Structure 1
Amino acid sequence: MTDIQLNMDGEPGWEPFDAPALVGASLRFVSGDRTGNRFRMRYFRNASGELVARVWFGPETEGPPGHAHGGSIAAVLDEVLGLAAWAAGYPIVVGNLNIHFRHLLPLQTVVQVDSEVVAAAGRKISVRGRIVLGDRIFAEADCLCITLPEEQRRQLG
């Protein structure tokens, strides 16, 4: 087993989460290729039931030399935070994603994406997340999600 595979494992008490089974093949853009050189991702529910992802940023995500492109970080946060809302029972689309980049993220590093659904009011769902490795925060995000109207939900199912 490679170091990447070992680092992609969850923590004790985490349950693997089958993200594609929840939303279908629409997860192709970021997490669809589990063996490629762009992203490799695994999803879990932690002991509190929140969605957590382990993500490897490969060489094809490069922006600044040796580091992940901000757009690749944004794509990961978009997928994970949107999926966190779906996993909490809210079929949504992302309406607004605000990202605060804190540190450059070195390529070929496995990081953790934590998520938390913080509020639900009408069709608006607020989700927060961050990309971390130990105590180092690479990016934090606030996401405003909008639940899909019933007609669009029927088209998905």
Structure 2
Amino acid sequence: MSEVDLSGEKGWQPFDAPALVGSSLRFVSGDPEGDRFRVSYYRKPDSALVARIWFGPETEGPPEHAHGGSMAAVLDEVLGLAAWSAGYAIVVANLNINFRCLLPIMQVVQVDTEIVSVDGRKVLVRGKIWDGQEKVYTEADCLCIEIQAV
């Protein structure tokens, strides 16, 4: 498989996601050279988490396009990680996804995140998978619940 460019934009700082949450990022981020996903995380100057993700041939659903479940898995990981990187130890309670259009495989896309609100233990994170310019493939709201210390 050829090299995939997951580099960030000027001003973005690389973010070491596994250092924050450990090996729990195996499903999406676990194989950086694989044929499913390849992921690089960054922080924008406003501290928002952003990811560059390549959807490989093993994510295919409709011919030459990513399966909806693969997009849901990416949003689950990235939006949950956005809450963790903002200082909230959470689990995802609800992930509401709106699929806007088919996402062609074998290309790099961007996932932007935003912490929308915090109310007690509830953390609402919003995000989208898009081409980084104008085309939005999916948008999601993620209700996270801060976990209690064990």
**TM-score, length-scaled by structure 2:** 0.97
1:135 is matched with: 134
> Which runs of structure 2 are paired with 1:3-82 in the superposition (5 Å)?
4-5=4-5, 8-82=6-80
Task: List structure 1 runs of 4+ shifted beyond 2 angstroms.
Answer: none
Looking at structure 1, the residues matched to 21 and 147 of structure 2 have their Cα atoms a distance apart, in angstroms, of 13
Looking at structure 1, the residues matched to 24 and 120 of structure 2 have their Cα atoms a distance apart, in angstroms, of 25
The AA in structure 2 aligned to 1:11 is E
**Cα RMSD over matched residues?**
0.8
Higher helix share: 1
Looking at structure 1, the residues matched to 26 and 4 of structure 2 have their Cα atoms a distance apart, in angstroms, of 20
Looking at structure 1, the residues matched to 45 and 104 of structure 2 have their Cα atoms a distance apart, in angstroms, of 28
Looking at structure 1, the residues matched to 4 and 31 of structure 2 have their Cα atoms a distance apart, in angstroms, of 14
Looking at structure 2, the residues matched to 32 and 18 of structure 1 have their Cα atoms a distance apart, in angstroms, of 13
1:155 is matched with: none
Where 1:35 maps in the other structure, the secondary structure is coil
Looking at structure 1, the residues matched to 78 and 115 of structure 2 have their Cα atoms a distance apart, in angstroms, of 11
CA drift at 1:3: 5.9
Looking at structure 2, the residues matched to 99 and 31 of structure 1 have their Cα atoms a distance apart, in angstroms, of 20
CA deviation digits over 1:103-123, x for unaligned, max 9? 100010100000001100111
Percentage of pairs with the same residue: 65
Contiguous gaps of at least 5 residues in structure 1: 152-157
CA deviation digits over 1:4-32, x for unaligned, max 9? 22xx1000000000000000000001011
1:85 is matched with: 83
How many residue pairs end up in the alignment? 148
Looking at structure 2, the residues matched to 99 and 88 of structure 1 have their Cα atoms a distance apart, in angstroms, of 22
